[in-house]
């Protein structure tokens, strides 16, 4: 710091309050500043140089053994001669030493920052904090890593918000992202180590446009407030074949980083054979908990997809004609403009139509749903143009085609809703699975004899029975731990489903009951000595499930069935028997009911069963939570950014997911942009937006 700077004097003046900066009032020092002891006969010369504000003149032993004056720095141990050579050497030391000990006051105008609560504080630009915020913004919004080095971004920030902003290079941002990732991963590791409940996993493999495969591992657990948390634990490249050994090795490497291998309760995977074989490798390592009853879960949404796809094949010829008509209308701008005028003449708003993707059955559902309102308009225009071009009438759209489309949309609505429900993040899906199976079985039974959909329904029913003729134990326990259903309600739901699909679940009910007491005994040995304090009564919150079937059951019959079967199931497990036989205030008709909160509240009454229930309810029945990462990574590894290293891809994916988890923003079970691609295609865009809002 230059002491001649106009603001340097302010720093020196600050010393006046603590130090005697003027030196001795009288001294025997002559012009040479010898520092002799003052006398009454000799008047000292005042030290006028500003360097003496940083030095004291003291008597010290000189190198030749004599005693004489030395200039000692007020901030460090160094001292210098004062007898000759002037003060240049003192000034050079002052320029280096004083800035380290005297803070020059900030002379810029103070800036105020207003908080949401109305309070006001001063604000100062912090370059390190600004870099951290920039790195977080880049990860959350899929911006390029060199975003902070963009000239136009810098001009925008410095002109409109913060003139002090410093340029951030790509390398600096990359290092900031890696540092943030490691810090947040360490925090997540510490959080997982202090959990009192088990951890459930989901995993899936994705093929990126960069010709690199990735395996995503996602963890699900309950936090201290009994809320479901979802965090991506790893997003690793698969540089080898998708064999069971390789899948096992990658997942295990992720678990070892967080040291949670011994905490895993279940892994939800799709139906690939390699995934099924990898479960045996986990079992050999003694990783499964709770006797391994819940360890391997098949993705329910993947099963629904297989069921629907088998039906689509049977009606593909009629849907194909609708798909061809939509594709033909939109393949030419003049043709589409003519179709728009045709819509206007028929009193409809001109709009575009998006064709479906064969690999995504929900896109077929959305395509048909959004064009049904225009069925006669599309048929009239398309058939007219076919006749003008001399095409055979066999290619024309018929009312039967639209009837099949309409009925199929109504039919698929149940499967679409089931997919959305079972893809949830912040509520238990294991307790919802049987409810959705019941509704789908009822729909299959309703349309089995339909003249146009019969073949499709039979094919779907066959695929449905292949996977769910034996009810998964997790789904059964998901409704048993619901105090409004329990064993009696489960028996009724399975009986209803069996009647609709000609499946005998009677032996399975006995097997489920026996397994329930076996699992409870495992938890009783582990948590039998734990006692908790009662919590406040919960407010009832909604569960999006239809209870019309359960309302029709005969309560007296179910009560007697419950009491007799539970007592004979096991002589031990008094707490479980007490729960199964108890009558609760939870009303079956109540739409507002929080199952996790109920178990947190009554954990003091059922200390062992509450641990089992909360472990059961945290297990997801689908891999959609892992697949959502692929939608995000598709934006990160786009063609313009496919040079990102796999390590950097994992950093960006994890930071974004963890930030969304912190704000509870992971509950988007349906891709909104995907839906808008089919539904918001009106030509008059302004009025379309109003219609969407209304």
- The angle at the Cα of 496, spanning 494 to 502, to the nearest 5 degrees, equals 90
Do the beta carbons of residue 591 and residue 543 sit within 8 Å?
yes
Which DSSP category does 670 fall into?
S
Mean pLDDT of 372-377: 91
pLDDT at 3: 47
Does the structure show a pLDDT above 50 at 693? no
pLDDT band at 111 (very low <50, low <70, confident <90, very high): low
Average pLDDT over every residue of 642-659: 88
- Partner residues linked to 229 by β-bridges: 221
Given a cut of 60, is residue 30 above it in pLDDT? Answer: no
The pLDDT of residue 669 is above 50: no
Residue 528 has pLDDT above 90, yes or no: no
* 99-119 average pLDDT score: 64
Residue 674: the pLDDT is 59
Model confidence at 65, in pLDDT bands (50, 70, 90)? confident
Count Cβ atoms below 10 Å from residue 238 Cβ, excluding itself: 17
Helical residues (DSSP H) of 194-315, grouped into ranges: 244-258, 273-284, 300-314
Looking at per-residue pLDDT, the higher value among 25 and 306 belongs to: 306
| C-alpha to C-alpha distance for 133 and 144, rounded to whole angstroms | 15
The predicted model gives 40-63 an average pLDDT of: 75
Q: What integer pLDDT is reported at residue 690 of this predicted model?
A: 39
Between 518 and 590, where is the model more confident?
518
Please give the residue that has the higher pLDDT: either 563 or 333. Answer: 333
Contact 165, 150 (CB under 8 A): no
d(CA 562, CA 491) in angstroms, rounded, equals: 9
Tell me what percent of the residues of the chain surpass a pLDDT of 90: 35
Mean pLDDT value across the chain: 80
C-beta separation of 266 from 297 below 8 A: yes
In the block, residue with structure tokens 């130090």: 19
Mean pLDDT of 160-179: 89
Tell whether the model's pLDDT for residue 555 goes beyond 60: no
- Decide if pLDDT at 559 tops 50: no
The pLDDT of residue 537 is 43
Q: How wide is the angle at C-alpha 597 spanned by C-alphas 561 and 436, nearest 5°? A: 55
Token pair of 235, please? 């997003």
Q: Which of 41-55, 58-72, 327-341 has the lowest mean pLDDT?
A: 41-55
Is the whole-model pTM more than 0.85?
no
| Contact (Cβ atoms closer than 8 angstroms) between residue 57 and residue 36 | no
Distance, CA of 207 to CA of 630 (rounded, Å):
9
Q: Is residue 359 over pLDDT 90? A: no
DSSP-based helix, strand, coil % in the chain, nearest 5 = 55, 10, 35
Determine the Cα angle at 332 with ends 327 and 334, to 5°. Answer: 135
Please give the share of the chain, as a percent, with pLDDT higher than 70: 77
pLDDT value at position 495?
92
Q: Which of 37-41, 55-59, 125-129, 582-586 has the lowest mean pLDDT?
A: 37-41
Local structure of residue 682 (DSSP, 8 states): B
Confidence at residue 113, expressed as pLDDT on a 0 to 100 scale? 65
pLDDT of residue 92: 87
Lowest mean pLDDT among 191-200, 300-309, 322-331, 567-576: 567-576
pLDDT at 35: 42
pLDDT of residue 265: 92
For the residues of 350-404, what is the DSSP string, one character each? -B--PPP-TT-HHHHHHHHHHHGGGHHHHHHHHHHHHHHTT--GGGS--HHHHHH
Helix (H) or strand (E) run with residue 500 in it: helix 486-501
Cβ atoms of 429 and 410 within 8 Å: the answer is no
Given a cut of 60, whether residue 27 has pLDDT beyond it is: no
Q: How confident is the model at residue 527 (pLDDT cuts 50, 70, 90)?
A: confident
Q: Are 456 and 464 in contact (CB under 8 A)?
A: no
Res 191: pLDDT: 94
Q: What is the per-residue pLDDT for 104?
A: 56
Residue among 349, 343, 348, 330 at smallest CA distance from 380: 343
**Average pLDDT score over residue span 276-283:** 90
Query: Which of 146-150, 189-193, 212-216, 549-553 has maximum average pLDDT?
Result: 189-193
DSSP state of 587: -
Q: Once rounded to an integer, what is the mean pLDDT over residues 276-302?
A: 88
* pLDDT at residue 453 greater than cutoff 90: no
Residue 616: pLDDT over 90:
yes
Mean pLDDT, residues 552-581: 59
Where do we find the tokens 């899936």? Answer: 204
Query: Out of 266-270, 305-309, 538-542, 550-554, which region has the weakest mean confidence (pLDDT)?
Result: 538-542
pLDDT at 21: 40
Query: Considering only 58-62, 237-241, 349-353, 526-530, which range has the smallest mean pLDDT?
Result: 526-530
List the single range of 288-297, 376-385, 500-509, 558-567 with lowest mean pLDDT.
558-567
Predicted pLDDT of residue 64: 79
Which one is predicted more confidently, 625 or 183?
A: 183
Buried b (16+ CB within 10 A) or exposed e, 81-96: ebeeeebeebeebbbe
- In the numeric block, the tokens 């070892």 are attached to 256
pLDDT at 636: 58
Q: Is the pLDDT at 651 greater than 50, yes or no? A: yes
Give me the pLDDT at residue 190, please: 94
pLDDT band at 544 (very low <50, low <70, confident <90, very high): very low
Is 50 exceeded by the pLDDT of residue 567? no
Task: Indicate whether 369 pLDDT > 70.
Answer: yes
Measured distance between the N- and C-terminal CA atoms of the chain, rounded to whole angstroms: 65
213-267 pLDDT tens trace:
889 999 999 998 889 999 999 999 988 888 999 999 999 999 999 999 989 999 9
């Amino acid at each position: 710091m230059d002491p001649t700077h106009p603001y340097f004097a302010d720093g020196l003046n600050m010393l006046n309050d603590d130090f005697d900066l003027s030196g001795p009032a009288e001294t025997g020092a002559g012009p040479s500043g010898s520092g002799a002891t003052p006398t009454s006969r000799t008047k000292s010369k005042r030290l006028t140089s500003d360097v003496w504000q940083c030095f004291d003149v003291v008597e010290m032993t000189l190198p030749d053994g004599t005693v004489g004056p030395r200039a000692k720095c007020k901030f460090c141990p160094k001292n210098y001669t004062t007898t000759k050579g002037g003060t240049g050497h003192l000034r050079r030391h002052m320029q280096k030493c004083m800035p380290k000990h005297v803070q020059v006051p900030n002379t810029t105008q103070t800036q105020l920052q207003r908080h949401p609560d109305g309070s006001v504080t001063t604000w100062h630009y912090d370059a390190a904090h600004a870099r951290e915020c920039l790195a977080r913004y880049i990860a959350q919004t899929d911006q390029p890593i060199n975003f902070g080095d963009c000239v136009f971004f810098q001009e925008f920030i410095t002109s409109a918000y913060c003139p002090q902003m410093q340029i951030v290079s790509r390398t600096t941002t990359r290092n900031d992202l890696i540092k943030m990732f490691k810090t947040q991963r360490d925090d997540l590791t510490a959080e997982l180590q202090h959990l009192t409940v088990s951890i459930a996993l989901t995993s899936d493999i994705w093929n990126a446009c960069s010709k690199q495969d990735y395996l995503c591992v996602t963890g699900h657990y309950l936090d201290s407030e009994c809320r479901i948390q979802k965090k991506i634990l790893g997003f690793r490249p698969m540089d080898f074949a998708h064999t069971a050994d390789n899948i096992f090795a990658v997942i295990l490497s992720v678990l070892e980083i967080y040291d949670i291998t011994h905490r895993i309760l279940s892994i939800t995977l799709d139906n690939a054979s390699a995934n099924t074989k990898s479960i045996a490798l986990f079992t050999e390592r003694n990783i499964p908990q709770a006797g391994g009853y819940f360890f391997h879960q098949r993705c329910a949404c993947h099963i629904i997809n297989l069921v629907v796809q088998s039906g689509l094949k049977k009606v593909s010829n009629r849907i194909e004609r609708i798909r061809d008509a939509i594709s033909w209308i939109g393949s030419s701008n003049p043709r589409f403009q003519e179709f728009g005028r045709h819509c206007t003449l028929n009193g409809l708003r001109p709009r575009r139509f998006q064709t479906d993707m064969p690999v995504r059955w929900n896109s077929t559902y959305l395509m048909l749903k959004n064009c049904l309102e225009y069925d006669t308009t599309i048929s009239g225009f398309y058939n007219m143009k076919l006749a003008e071009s001399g095409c055979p009438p066999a290619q024309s759209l018929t009312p039967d085609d639209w009837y099949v489309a309409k009925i199929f949309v109504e039919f698929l609505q149940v499967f679409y809703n089931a997919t959305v429900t079972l893809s949830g993040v912040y509520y238990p899906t294991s307790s919802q699975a049987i409810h959705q199976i019941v509704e789908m079985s009822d729909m299959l039974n309703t349309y089995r004899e339909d003249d146009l959909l019969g073949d499709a329904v039979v094919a779907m029913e066959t695929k449905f029975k292949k996977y769910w003729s034996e009810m998964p134990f997790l789904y059964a326990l998901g409704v048993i731990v619901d105090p409004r259903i329990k064993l009696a309600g489960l028996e009724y739901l399975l009986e209803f489903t069996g009647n609709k699909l000609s499946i005998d679940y009677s032996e399975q009910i006995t097997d489920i009951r026996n397994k329930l007491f076996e699992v409870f005994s495992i938890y009783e040995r582990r948590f039998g000595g734990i006692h908790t304090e009662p919590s406040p009564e919960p407010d009832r919150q909604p569960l999006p499930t239809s209870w019309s079937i359960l309302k029709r059951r005969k309560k007296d019959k179910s009560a007697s069935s419950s009491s007799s079967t539970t007592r004979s199931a096991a002589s031990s497990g008094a707490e479980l028997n007490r729960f199964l036989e108890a009558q609760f205030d939870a009303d079956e008709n109540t739409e507002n009911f929080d199952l996790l909160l109920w178990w947190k509240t009554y954990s003091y009454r059922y200390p062992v069963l509450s641990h089992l229930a909360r472990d059961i309810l945290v297990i997801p029945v689908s891999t959609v939570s892992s697949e959502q990462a692929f939608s995000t990574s598709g934006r990160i590894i786009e063609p313009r950014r496919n040079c990102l290293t796999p390590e950097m891809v994992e950093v960006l994916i994890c930071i974004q997911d963890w930030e969304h988890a912190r704000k509870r923003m992971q509950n988007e079970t349906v891709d909104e942009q995907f839906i808008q691609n089919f539904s918001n295609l009106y030509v008059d865009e302004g009025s379309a937006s109003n219609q969407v809002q209304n």
